[in-house]
């Protein structure tokens, strides 16, 4: 056994605290907030690789404190063991500054307001190079250059500058939400992306960051204080998106515990259970603040304090669910109506007048290829003969030669009879598959062998162009994918900071919300961000757009149902949707005979 040298210990600590440039921004911004800053300016170059600078107008430090801040476990925020039970600051471990300084070229310049001169300290990869007197305004400026300059293995694992910049913008966003009264600015490569003035309340800061659209789609959450002890209480407040507008992602759920961006399994469970389930496992966007006594939460579970642990999990879960439930009950239609809407149950086929979806192409079929069919003895719908436009190959074969539409159930499933049995079809999954193959073919340079997807997706011009405001990170992802999105039939352009103007959409998705589609694309791009290749991106975006059909109403006339099945049959892979879920369930005539004991 031996004690590690200090420089080695600092590098190990840096591995826990400094995961990427965004981690440095987080630690430095939190230090500035704890210092009482009213104004914080963040500047980064090359995704934080070359420079990260954070300047504040906080209390500043004396020369002795500035030098001491470079020592591990040096902190002004706790004094003894008892203070750990009452932590109400963002940073307290005393590891961030020495860890950052050990893997960069680090400069700290600081001055207290009551001092005539400041102090500047220079550290090169963990080695103290200079301590000098400096003229500077009150507050602190930290400059981190050449991050991981002495740890090349860590530097290799950094992503592209745009990716690292996205993480920095996300960190900036959560702290801007958590502290609306502080003025914050973010400059990237010399271009000022955000300049947020102090806001009097959270809603004003949300409007500054996301635009007014989010507040229009959201419900205010204001829970009563829930007692967790004789003198302790939990309070939940904020905003949550109306469930019927929710998208299939939790990426826009911002949760703050005593002003700290953090989460826990209890919170994730409460959010999941409090909101009515929607098609496609959609989750509403939310900005929630959970305030409770510091002694009721342990923020020392994770080195970067991302996760917390509650002393009374049940009380926290109940407080969140009660607060969100009250918002839903007061501002939405009765839950019974919401449940019916969730099912997307269509009216009986005979009572429907038109299809919600645009009319698809109908195959023109030569009559001589059809097997002769006897006339039906009853006025039931005639069998609809179908011949595949694609030739069967190793990728699959046609599922049936002909089919007859029988009915649509109250829950929306289609029932058809084929030449070899009975088939139950999920129309949502069928529409996903059809849309996916059409959209994917619209960007392909090789002709498709499927007639219904042989025509490139045409655009449908919007009567009034729609403006979509996304989160900073999602906006960056959409910006990088504009060429592919445009190739699929969108007319899309940047329209200000984190905003896009949509003039046209692919014709087959004209009934869907462009803002929902863009949010879904951005979320899927984030989850698949490690992959590379243009074709992969095309497939992912086509899948994202197709997924939007999962939550759309799909009431079908009998003719519409027949056309949907015809289009499904012409797909290359009609059996599963792009997400791998089954489109149809087949029961053969032989299996029916066996189950009914027919000879």
pLDDT at residue 360, rounded to an integer:
32
Burial of residue 499 (CB within 10 Å: 0-12, 13-18, 19+) is middle
pLDDT at residue 471, rounded to an integer:
78
Q: Pairing relation of β-strands 226-227 and 233-241? A: antiparallel
Structure tokens at 460: 């449908």
pLDDT at residue 220, rounded to an integer:
92
pLDDT at residue 252, rounded to an integer:
76
Q: Confirm if 53 and 135 have CB atoms less than 8 A apart.
A: no
Spell out, as residue ranges, where the chain has pLDDT lower than 50.
Answer: 78-79, 81-84, 92-93, 279, 333-391, 393-396, 445-457, 530
Alpha-carbon span 106 to 108, nearest angstrom:
7
Q: Which is nearest to 549 in space by CA: 572, 567, 533, 531?
A: 567
Q: Confirm if 134 and 122 have CB atoms less than 8 A apart.
A: no
Alpha-carbon span 426 to 432, nearest angstrom:
10
For the chain, domain boundaries: 6-200, 217-343, 349-431+558-595, 456-551
Alpha-carbon span 401 to 232, nearest angstrom:
70
In 503-532, which positions are buried (b, 16+ CB within 10 angstroms) versus exposed (e)?
A: ebbbebbbebbbbbbbbbbbbbbeeeeeee
First-residue to last-residue Cα distance in the chain: 81
Q: Confirm if 98 and 10 have CB atoms less than 8 A apart.
A: yes
What topology does CATH give the domain 349-431+558-595? formyl-coa transferase, domain 3 (3.30.1540)
Alpha-carbon span 122 to 106, nearest angstrom:
6
Which numeric CATH code is attached to 456-551?
3.30.1370.100
| Per-residue pLDDT tens over the stretch 204-255 | 999 888 877 788 888 999 987 776 665 568 999 999 988 766 655 555 789 9
Q: Given CA atoms 237, 243, 246, 251 in this order, what sign does their dihedral have?
A: positive
CATH architecture of 217-343: 2-Layer Sandwich (3.30)
Q: At a CB cut-off of 8 Å and minimum separation 6, what does 114 contact?
A: none
pLDDT at residue 168, rounded to an integer:
94
Domain 6-200 has CATH 1.10.645.10: no
The values of phi and psi at residue 294, to 5°, are -55, -30
Q: Pairing relation of β-strands 286-291 and 233-241? A: antiparallel
DSSP string covering 330-342, please?
HHSS-HHHHHHHH
**How far is CA 451 from its chain centroid?**
35
Q: What share of the chain is helix, strand, coil (3-state, %, to 5)?
A: 40, 25, 40
Alpha-carbon span 318 to 234, nearest angstrom:
10
Q: Pairing relation of β-strands 286-291 and 253-257? A: parallel
Structure tokens at 268: 């994730």
């Amino acid at each position: 056994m031996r004690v590690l040298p200090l420089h080695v210990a600092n590098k190990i600590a840096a591995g826990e605290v400094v995961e990427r440039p965004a981690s440095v921004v987080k630690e430095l911004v939190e230090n500035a907030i704890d210092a009482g800053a009213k104004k914080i300016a963040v500047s980064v170059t090359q995704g934080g690789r070359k420079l990260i600078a954070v300047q504040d107008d906080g209390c500043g430090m004396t020369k002795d404190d500035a030098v001491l801040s470079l020592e591990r476990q040096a902190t002004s925020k706790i004094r003894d063991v008892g203070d750990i039970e009452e932590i109400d600051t963002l940073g307290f471990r005393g590891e961030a500054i020495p860890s950052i300084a050990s893997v960069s070229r680090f400069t700290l310049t600081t001055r207290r307001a009551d001092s005539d001169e400041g102090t500047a300290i220079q550290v090169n990869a963990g080695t103290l190079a200079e301590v000098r007197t400096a003229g500077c305004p009150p507050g602190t400026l930290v400059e981190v250059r050449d991050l991981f300059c002495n740890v090349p293995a860590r530097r290799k694992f950094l992503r592209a500058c745009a990716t690292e910049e996205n993480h920095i913008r996300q960190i900036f966003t959560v702290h801007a939400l958590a502290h609306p009264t502080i003025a914050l600015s973010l400059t990237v490569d010399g271009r000022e992306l955000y300049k947020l003035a102090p806001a009097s309340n959270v809603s004003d800061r949300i409007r500054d960051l996301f635009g007014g659209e989010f507040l229009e789609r959201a419900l205010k959450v204001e829970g009563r204080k829930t007692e967790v002890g004789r003198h302790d209480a939990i309070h939940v407040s904020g905003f949550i998106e109306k469930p019927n507008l929710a998208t299939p992602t939790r990426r826009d759920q911002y949760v703050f515990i005593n002003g700290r961006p953090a989460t826990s399994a209890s919170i994730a469970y409460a959010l999941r259970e409090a909101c009515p389930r929607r098609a496609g496992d959609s989750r509403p966007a939310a900005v929630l603040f959970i305030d409770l006594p510091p002694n009721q939460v342990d923020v020392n579970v994770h080195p970067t304090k991302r996760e917390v642990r509650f002393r009374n999990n049940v009380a926290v879960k109940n407080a969140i669910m009660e607060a969100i439930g009250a918002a839903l009950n007061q501002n939405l239609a009765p839950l019974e109506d919401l449940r019916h809407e969730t099912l997307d149950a269509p009216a009986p086929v005979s009572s429907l007048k038109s299809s919600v979806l645009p009319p698809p192409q109908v195959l023109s079929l030569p009559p001589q290829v059809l097997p002769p069919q006897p006339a039906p003895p009853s006025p039931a719908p005639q069998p609809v003969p179908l011949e595949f436009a694609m030739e069967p190959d190793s990728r699959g074969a046609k599922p049936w030669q002909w089919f007859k539409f029988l009915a649509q159930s109250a829950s929306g499933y289609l029932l058809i009879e084929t030449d070899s049995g009975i088939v139950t079809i999920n129309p949502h999954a069928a529409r996903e598959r059809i849309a996916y193959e059409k959209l994917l073919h619209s960007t392909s340079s090789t002709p498709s062998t499927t007639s219904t997807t042989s025509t490139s997706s045409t655009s449908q011009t919007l009567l009034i162009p729609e403006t979509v405001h996304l989160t900073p990170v999602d906006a960056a992802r959409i910006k990088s994918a504009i060429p592919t999105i445009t190739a699929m039939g969108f007319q899309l352009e940047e329209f200000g900071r984190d905003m896009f103007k949509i003039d046209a959409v692919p014709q087959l998705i004209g009934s869907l919300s462009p803002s929902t589609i863009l949010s879904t694309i951005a979320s899927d791009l984030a989850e698949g961000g490690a992959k590379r290749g243009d074709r992969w991106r095309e497939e992912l975006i086509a899948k994202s757009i197709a997924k939007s059909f999962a939550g759309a109403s799909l009431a079908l006339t009998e003719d519409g149902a027949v056309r949907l099945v015809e289009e499904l049959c012409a797909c290359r892979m009609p059996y599963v949707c792009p997400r791998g879920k089954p489109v149809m369930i087949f029961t053969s005539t032989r299996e029916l005979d066996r189950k009914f004991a027919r000879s």
